C-alpha cells in the first residue's frame, strides 16, 4: 500500500517533470532566438520526453488509486551565456532529478512498497541515459569550440532528433 507520504513524494516528482519540460522549453526558446534551430529542436524533443516522464507518473498514480495533484509550474531560467551553457545547465538539472529519484526509491524501500520500487527502476535507468547524453553533448561542444563548420554539422544532426517514447 502506498502511504500518504510516498504518494506526496510521487506527486512532487510528477510536478518536477512538468517543471523540467518548461525549463527545456525555455532553453529551446533561447536557442531559437540565437538562430540555432537545430539545438532548439533538440530541446523541443526534450520537452516531449519530460512530459512523457510526468505522464508516466500521472498514470501510475491513477493506477494506484491516488489523486494526481497538478501544481503550478516553476518559473524557468530563460537567459543563458551560450549554447554550451544551456547543456551545462541541463546536466545539472538532470543530476538533481537523479537525486530526486534516488530519494524516492529510498522512501519506497523504507515503506517496503515493492511495486513502486519496480516502477521507479525505469526512471533510474533513464537518468543514467539522460546524464550520459548531456555529458556527451558538452564534451562535443567543447571539442568543437569555435569551429563554425563543425558546429554547423553538429547542429544539423541535433536538428534531426525526434523523441520516441520507450515503455
Ligand atoms: Mg525527466
- 79 backbone dihedrals φ, ψ, rounded to 5°: -110, 135
Asked if 6 and 14 count as a contact pair (C-beta separation under 8 A), the reply is no
Among the ranges given (51-55, 69-73, 96-100, 149-153), the one the predictor scored with the smallest mean pLDDT: 149-153
C-alpha cell recorded at residue 119: 516502477
Rounded Cα–Cα distance for residues 149 and 167 (Å):
37
- The pTM for the full model equals 0.94
How many angstroms from the chain centroid is the CA of residue 11?
A: 16
* pLDDT at res. 134: 96
Q: How far is the CA of 127 from the centre of ligand 1 (A)?
A: 7
* Ligand 1 centroid, distance to 148 Cα (angstroms): 31
Q: What share of the chain is helix, strand, coil (3-state, %, to 5)?
A: 75, 0, 25
Share of the chain above pLDDT 70, in %: 99
Confidence of residue 167 (pLDDT cuts 50, 70, 90): low
Which of 45, 53, 49 lies closest to 160 in space, CA to CA? 45
| pLDDT computed for residue 146 by the predictor | 81
Average pLDDT for the chain: 96
Cβ 67 vs Cβ 61: under 8 Å? yes
Residue 166 has pLDDT above 80, yes or no: no
Rounded Cα gap, residues 13 and 11, in angstroms: 5
CB burial of residue 128 (10 Å; 0-12, 13-18, 19+): exposed
User: How many A from CA of 16 to the centre of ligand 1?
Assistant: 8
Question: What would the mean pLDDT of 153-158 be, rounded to a whole number?
Answer: 91
Decide if pLDDT at 41 tops 70: yes
Question: 111 CA distance to ligand 1 centroid (A)?
Answer: 24
Which segment of 52-66, 79-93, 107-121, 136-150 scores lowest on mean pLDDT?
136-150
CA torsion angle 166 121 94 164 (round to 10): 0
Over the stretch 49-84, which tens digit does the pLDDT of each residue have? 999 999 999 999 999 999 999 999 999 999 999 999
At 108, the pLDDT band (50, 70, 90 cuts) reads very high
- For ligand 1, the distance from its centroid to the CA atom of residue 35, given in whole angstroms, is 26
Q: What is the CA radius of gyration of the chain?
A: 17
pLDDT of residue 145: 85
Amino acid at each position: 500500500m502506498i502511504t500518504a507520504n510516498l504518494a506526496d513524494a510521487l506527486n512532487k516528482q510528477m510536478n518536477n517533470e512538468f517543471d523540467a519540460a518548461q525549463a527545456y522549453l525555455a532553453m529551446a526558446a533561447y536557442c531559437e532566438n540565437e538562430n540555432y534551430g537545430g539545438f532548439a529542436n533538440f530541446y523541443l524533443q526534450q520537452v516531449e520526453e519530460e512530459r512523457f516522464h510526468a505522464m508516466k507518473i500521472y498514470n501510475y498514480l491513477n493506477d494506484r488509486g491516488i489523486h494526481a495533484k497538478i501544481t503550478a509550474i516553476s518559473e524557468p531560467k530563460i537567459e543563458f551565456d551560450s549554447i554550451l551553457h544551456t547543456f551545462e545547465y541541463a546536466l545539472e538539472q538532470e543530476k538533481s532529478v537523479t537525486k530526486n529519484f534516488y530519494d524516492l526509491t529510498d522512501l519506497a524501500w523504507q515503506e517496503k512498497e515493492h511495486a513502486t520500487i519496480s516502477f521507479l527502476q525505469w526512471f533510474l535507468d533513464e537518468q543514467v541515459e539522460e546524464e550520459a547524453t548531456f555529458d556527451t553533448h558538452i564534451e562535443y561542444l567543447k571539442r568543437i569550440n569555435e569551429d563554425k563548420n563543425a558546429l554547423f554539422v553538429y547542429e544539423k544532426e541535433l536538428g534531426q532528433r525526434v523523441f520516441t517514447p520507450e515503455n
